[in-house]
Amino acid sequence: MNFLAHLYLSFEDDQITIGNFIADSIRGNKYKHLPEKIQKGIVLHRAIDTFTDKHPIVRQSTKRLHENYSHYSGVIVDIFYDHFLAKNWSDYANTPLPHFVDNFYDLLENNYDILPIGVKRMMPYMIADNWILNYAKMEGISRVLNGMNRRTQNKSKMNFAILDLEEHYTDFEKEFTYFFEELIIFSKQKYLSLR
C-alpha cells in the first residue's frame, strides 16, 4: 500500500504512524535505536506489505497492468488504491481528509529529528504539493505517476498508467474495496498484537 493507507492503518497512534510512514526508508533491522513504538510501526508496515503483496485480489489488479509495466505493476496498484481510499475517505474515517493530512504533516514536523534522511529530503515537496490530499483527484494521481516515472529515468512508463486507471476504473475500485475491508481487519489484529 502507499502512504495514505499506511497512515490510516496506524489507527491514530502517533508513534506507530511515524514508524509505519518511515519503514520504506529503513533497511533490515537498522531501526533498533528508535523508540519502541516507532519500531512497532515499522513492523506493522512490513506486515501490511507482505499481506498486500500475497493477496489474490491485489494480484488480480496487478495482473491487469503486468503486460505494460512488468515489476512496476505493484507500485502502480498501491498508488491506485490510495486514490480510492482518498476518494472514498468518508466511508472509512470520521475525520475529514484535509484535517487528517494536516495533522500528519504536523506530526512529521514535530518528529523531524528522528526521521531518516530520505524522508527529510522528500518532506518539503510532499507538504508543499500536498501529495496525500491530492491522491483523491485524478490529476494528483497523474502527477504521482509522472514523478515515479522520472525516478526510474522514464524506464517504467508509469506515467501512462493513468490511462489504465481511466479504462478499468470500476474494476480497480471494486478490487480495492473488497481488499481493503480484509486489510483493515488484518492490520487491526496486527496492531493490537504489537501493543
Residue indicated by cell numbers 502517533:
14
Q: How far is CA 153 from CA 150, 158, 159, in A?
A: 5, 11, 11
- Is the torsion defined by CA of 170, 174, 176, 177 positive or negative? positive
Residue 2: its pLDDT value, please? 86
How far is residue 61's CA from residue 162's CA, in Å, rounded to a whole number? 14
Residue 195 binned pLDDT confidence (cut-offs 50, 70, 90)? confident
* Grid cell digits, residue 176: 480495492
The reported pLDDT for the residue numbered 31 is 87
pLDDT band at 1; cut points 50, 70, 90: low
Stretch 115-144: mean pLDDT, rounded? 94
- Domain enclosing residue 146, as ranges: 3-194
Q: Residue 176: what pLDDT?
A: 98
For the chain, the domain total comes to: 1
pLDDT of residue 30: 83
Cell 523508540 found at = 35
Condensed to tens digits (0 to 9), the pLDDT of residues 55-114 reads: 999 999 999 999 999 999 999 999 999 999 999 999 999 999 999 999 999 999 999 999
